[in-house]
Amino acid sequence: MELAHYSDYAVRLVNTEEPVREKDSLTSVEAVRELFGASQQAARRATEADLSRFRGVRARLRAVFTAADEGEETRAVDLLNSLMLEYPVSPQISGHDFRDDDGRPLWHMHLADHPSNATAGYAAIAAMGLAFHLTEHGVDRLGLCQAAPCRNAYLDTSTNRSRRYCSDRCATRANVAAYRARKRLETERSASTGRSAETTQDAT
């Protein structure tokens, strides 16, 4: 398993909030546990106290994406480094759950956390995964959706670094809005040109 895979933890947490719409789905312990996905053992550690802690980590991870989206490369790296210092992990070789045709373990790198609480464990993996993604693909591969009012985080894995939206839905919505805006402008220009022609004829 590629360590950059863990960067999805950061995206999932950041996108539990839509600041512009003032929406927040991180409102219960169950919502916190759902973020862990298949890692049920880690999820069971979550308590009510983790709610506020998770929101704090979420704000710091969003700040990393915001800095990257605004081209502030060094700031994005500094923010991410501060998270990794606060929430360290231990990379380990693991062979759990994966076997080849002969029944031998398929060894891969695994991020082992040693948390004092659920937030510390999740933050450690999210920050380290995002760091691996950043160093492997570049800071400009971390983005925020350009389809207003959505500002969801995403990881650009396109071959030409062209991604601007968090989903196909947002891309379609933005394209439709841009098309309608162009049509309105064309209509306004046509109307303005027509009025100018009429004015010229009247003057003549």
Residue 114, pLDDT score? 62
Query: Tens of pLDDT along 165-193?
Result: 999 899 998 888 777 878 887 777 777 77
Cα angle: 39, vertex 167, 79; to 5 degrees? 60
Transcribe 28-88 into DSSP letters. Answer: SHHHHHHHTTT-HHHHTT--THHHHHHHHHHHHHHHHHHHHHTT-HHHHHHHHHHHHHHS-
pTM above 0.75, yes or no: yes
pLDDT of residue 30: 96
Which residues, other chains included, contact 29 with Cβ-Cβ below 8 Å and sequence gap of 6+? 46, 47, 48, 50, 51
112, 89 contact by CB (below 8 A): yes
pLDDT lower than 70: segments of the chain: 1-4, 96-98, 111-115, 194-204
Measured from the Cβ of residue 196, the count of other Cβ atoms closer than 10 Å reads 10
